[in-house]
Amino acid sequence: MKRIIKRILLVLVIGLVAFLLYVKFALPNVGELEYLKVESTTSRLERGKYLANNVCVCIDCHSTRNWNEFSGPLVEGTLGKGGEVFDQRFGFPGSFYSKNITPSGIGDWSDAEILRAITSGVTKNGTALFPVMPHPNFGKMDKEDLVSIIVYLRSLKSIKNVVPESVADFPMSFIINTIPKAPHYSKIPSKSNSVAYGDYLFNAASCSECHSKQDKGKPIEGMELAGGFEFPMVTGGIVKSANITQDKNTGIGKWTEADFVKRFKSYTDSTYVPNKVTKGTFNTVMPWTMYGKMKEDDLKAIYAYLKTIKPIHNSIEKFVNP
C-alpha cells in the first residue's frame, strides 16, 4: 500500500514539475507573429499622438513626471524614455519597469512586434509583460487606432536610457506567462451612439485600472470603479483613487455632464499653472493635464458611459499622511 501511495505521489510531483516547466518555457503563446508594415501618414501621426498623450496616455507611464507639482506634469525631454517603477508599494506582485519606447528602446522592433506587445503583452524576445500596461484593454481597441500609436512612437525623439528588467515575485513569476492572450480587435463605434463610443474610450483610457482597488494585481470583485487604489507619493503620504460609480454620496452620481467636462478642462485652461507640492501635502497620480486635452465630445461620451455604471457606496479618504 505504501509503495502505491509513493508511486502516486511521484506521478503527481512529476506532473506538477512538467506543468511548471511548460508554463515557464512554452508560454506565453499568442499565436504566430503576423506580418505588419505600417505606413506613416499625417492623419495616423495626429491620431496616434492624441491617443498616446490624451486617451491611452502611454506617454504618462513611459516618461518622467515632476512630482513637485500638482498632478505630476511630464518633465520636458523625457517623453517615452521609460524607467518608472511599479512595485510592491502599489500592491503589485513584483517590480515592473516601464520600457523605453523611443527609437533608442524599440527602434529595432518590427511594427508587428510593437503591436503584439501593446495588444497581447509579449515582448520582442517572447517574454510576458505584466499588465501594468493594460494590454488586455488595448487588445480590444480598433486596430487602426493601435497602428496610429505605432506611427507616433516611431516619431518620438530618441533618448538613451537603459531600463532595468522587470522581475515578478513567486508565484507570479509563473502565472505571468499565462496572462498574454491574442487580441480581439473591435471597431470604433459611431459617435452617435454616445454610450458605446464612451465605452470604447473608457476601455482605451483604462480608467478601471486605477479606479478599482486591487489585491495582488487583480481588481476586487464587486468593487469595480469604486475607487480606493492606493498610491504612495514621492512627496509623502498615500493618495487613493476616487469612486467613479454613480453613487450619489460617495461617487459621481450628482455630477452633471458640464461638471464632468469642466473638471478635466480646468487643467488645460490658458490661465492654469500647476501648484507646487511641498512634502507631506496632497498630490495625485491622475494625469489631469493629459486627460484634460481630450476632445470635449470624447469626454462627454465617457460621461454618458459612466452614467450606466451601477452605484457602489464606498467612501474614500482621498489622502492619508501617516
The pLDDT assigned to 15 comes to 63
pLDDT digits (tens, 9 = 90+) for 204-227: 999 999 999 887 667 888 899 999
The single residue listed with the C-alpha cell 481630450 is 294
Q: Compute the average pLDDT of residues 115-123.
A: 97
Task: Assess whether pLDDT exceeds 70 at residue 16.
Answer: no
- pLDDT-based confidence at 20, cuts 50/70/90? low
Task: Answer yes or no: are the C-beta atoms of 186 and 179 closer than 8 Å.
Answer: no
Higher pLDDT, 5 or 40: 40
Task: Answer yes or no: are the C-beta atoms of 268 and 289 closer than 8 Å.
Answer: yes
C-alpha 295/C-alpha 76 separation (Å) is 23
The pLDDT assigned to 123 comes to 96
- pLDDT-based confidence at 32, cuts 50/70/90? confident
Task: Answer yes or no: are the C-beta atoms of 239 and 245 closer than 8 Å.
Answer: no
Task: Answer yes or no: are the C-beta atoms of 241 and 223 closer than 8 Å.
Answer: no
User: pTM score, two decimals?
Assistant: 0.92
Task: Answer yes or no: are the C-beta atoms of 250 and 313 closer than 8 Å.
Answer: yes
The pLDDT assigned to 272 comes to 87
- DSSP states of 95-136: EEE----SHHHHTTS-HHHHHHHHHH-B-TTSPBPPTTS-HH
Q: What is the dihedral of CA 221, 222, 224, 228, to 10 degrees?
A: -90
C-alpha 188/C-alpha 178 separation (Å) is 28
pLDDT digits (tens, 9 = 90+) for 229-244: 999 998 899 999 999 9
pLDDT digits (tens, 9 = 90+) for 276-320: 999 989 999 999 999 999 999 999 999 999 999 999 999 999 999
Q: Compute the average pLDDT of residues 159-165.
A: 95
Grid cell of 181 as nine digits: 492572450
C-alpha 294/C-alpha 261 separation (Å) is 10
The rounded mean pLDDT for the chain is 92
pLDDT digits (tens, 9 = 90+) for 255-268: 999 999 999 999 99
Q: Compute the average pLDDT of residues 159-181.
A: 94
Task: Assess whether pLDDT exceeds 60 at residue 157.
Answer: yes
The pLDDT assigned to 31 comes to 85
The pLDDT assigned to 271 comes to 85
Nearest 5 degrees, angle CA 70-CA 76-CA 80? 100
Burial of 221 (0-12, 13-18, 19+ CB in 10 A): exposed
- The residues facing 230 across adjacent strands are 240
C-alpha 159/C-alpha 87 separation (Å) is 24
Q: What is the dihedral of CA 301, 57, 188, 151, to 10 degrees?
A: 150
Strand order in 94-97's β-sheet? 85-86, 94-97, 167-168
The pLDDT assigned to 217 comes to 64
pLDDT digits (tens, 9 = 90+) for 51-80: 999 999 999 999 999 999 999 999 999 999
Length of the chain: 322
The pLDDT assigned to 188 comes to 98
C-alpha 19/C-alpha 151 separation (Å) is 40
Task: Assess whether pLDDT exceeds 90 at residue 8.
Answer: no
Percent of the chain at pLDDT exceeding 70: 92
